[in-house]
Structure 1
Amino acid sequence: MDKSAIRNAATVILQRSTPDGPAILVGQRGAKAAFMPNKFVFPGGAVDPADGNIPLGSALPAPCDSRLREDGSVDPNALATAAIRELWEETGLILGTPAAWPDAPEDWHAFAAHGMRPHAAHLRFFFRAITPPGRPRRFDARFFLIDADHISGDLDDFSAASDELSHLHWVPLADVLTLDLPFITEVVLAEVARHPDPSQAPQTVPFFKNTDEESLFLRLNGAPLED
């Protein structure tokens, strides 16, 4: 694999309502991780080639689908599948719709064993950012906001999670900036704070487009990024 190549990726911002206000799910990357070691991040990762072949139990909402296609060539359904898969692998939480899946691929057997198929209808495409040049890994990351009410099962049960993220926990949105976060995560959280309803797609999607030639701040399907 060419480590300098920009890989398509999907990231999940899972937002939960609590009596004290909204909370966000984060975990900590390992100290030896090549990309963002020790940082607290949202669940997410690179799109796998097989993600485009997974049958979704529901489609992405139309505004999100069209914005994902803007200035990009990757299949929106592959991005949605990657988001659901990474959420499942890294946290053990399921975004699915009840349905039998007898021919699920091996990597999805544990997911399908819960009587679920991946469910994209409640994903909200919220943010996009390309890692700047010079980093050990570069990703074209699409951030999806999800209302935790749509997650199946216990929101505090991470027993099925992989070991990729440690210290998985819900942090009040008002307190999350006290953690050791990547810069782009701080920017995304500022957008989340300005967008109180996770069930609604934003009017426009911010796009930090960092290429080898220039860095641009754009909004997909809308006006230039506001100050």
Structure 2
Amino acid sequence: MTANAVQDAATIILLRDPAGPVPRVLMGRRADAASFMPAKYVFPGGVVSPEDKGVPMARPMSGICARRLTEEAGHLAPATLAAAAVRELWEETGLILGRPHRWLGTPPEAWRSFAATGHLPAPGGLRFVFRALTPPDRPRRFDARFFVANAAGLSGDPDDFSRAGDELSDLAWVPIEEARHRDLPFITSVVLAEVAAQLPDLAAPATVPFFRNDEAGSEFLRLAGDL
């Protein structure tokens, strides 16, 4: 991969009790030695894998979000981005956004541990709410799509992180007001504020914010789309 090449990424903002008096968001802390955003608190997420393409789904994404992703990421199918978000959630937290179902055939290597739980991914509750492009002066660049979902859609105990990988530590459901005061990357704080402003509504937003960074500078745009 060439220096500063942009990688597609998917991030999931999982909310617990979004309509309650104290909505909470799932966050974890990146390692001090991490090459990207070390020691920062972030949402689960990561780079889209080629093996995310064509993964069978128990429940597809909503129509408006799929259409918007098709318009904004034409080289990637919406289902591929949604699958990446579900897989990264599983790898980093051990939580399953899926439904009990037997896989047909042999799952791709990146999905074997998820498939072994007896679930298919179920991204039907994901909503595309934000897009951000890493500035060109960073050693690693991502074209990240952020999805929000209600933790009620999880299969299993939302407090069981026993199967989490080692990429994130201090995994916890953090009250949103408390999360604002943690050591967050700039873009994480922006996305968190956007999502919090919409609560308790987790529906697809009227427009999707896009924080674009390229050689010409930085812009905060709104991606239009028919509801």
Matched, 1:14 2:17: no
SS in 1 for 2:26: strand
CA contact under 8 A between 2:97 and 2:121: conserved in structure 1?
A: yes
CA contact under 8 A between 1:11 and 1:142: conserved in structure 2?
A: yes
Matched, 1:88 2:96: no
Aligned mates of 1:99, 1:14 — CA distance in 2: 22
State the partner residue of 1:4. Answer: 4
Shift of 1:217: 1.6
Shift of 1:221: 1.7
Q: Deviations over 1:156-189 (max 9, x none)?
A: 1101010000110111011111110000011011
State the partner residue of 2:66. Answer: 65
CA contact under 8 A between 1:70 and 1:220: conserved in structure 2?
A: no
State the partner residue of 1:148. Answer: 151
Aligned mates of 1:129, 1:54 — CA distance in 2: 25
Give the TM-score, by structure 1 length.
Answer: 0.93
Aligned mates of 2:98, 2:129 — CA distance in 1: 20
Q: 2:54 corresponds to which letter in structure 1? A: N
State the partner residue of 1:119. Answer: 122
Identity %: 54
SS in 2 for 1:188: helix
What does 1:74-223 correspond to in 2, within 5 Å?
A: 74-103=76-105, 104-197=107-200, 199-221=202-224
Q: How many residues are aligned here?
A: 223
Aligned mates of 1:60, 1:214 — CA distance in 2: 33
What is the RMSD of the two structures over their aligned residues, measured on CA atoms? Answer: 1.6
Stretches of structure 1 that go unaligned for 5 or more consecutive residues are none
Aligned mates of 1:42, 1:125 — CA distance in 2: 15
User: Residues 111 and 163 of structure 1: is their aligned pair in 2 closer, same or farther, counting only changes over 3 Å?
Assistant: same
Shift of 1:198: 5.1
Aligned mates of 2:225, 2:50 — CA distance in 1: 30
User: Residues 187 and 51 of structure 1: is their aligned pair in 2 closer, same or farther, counting only changes over 3 Å?
Assistant: same
Stretches of structure 2 that go unaligned for 5 or more consecutive residues are none
Aligned mates of 1:214, 1:57 — CA distance in 2: 41
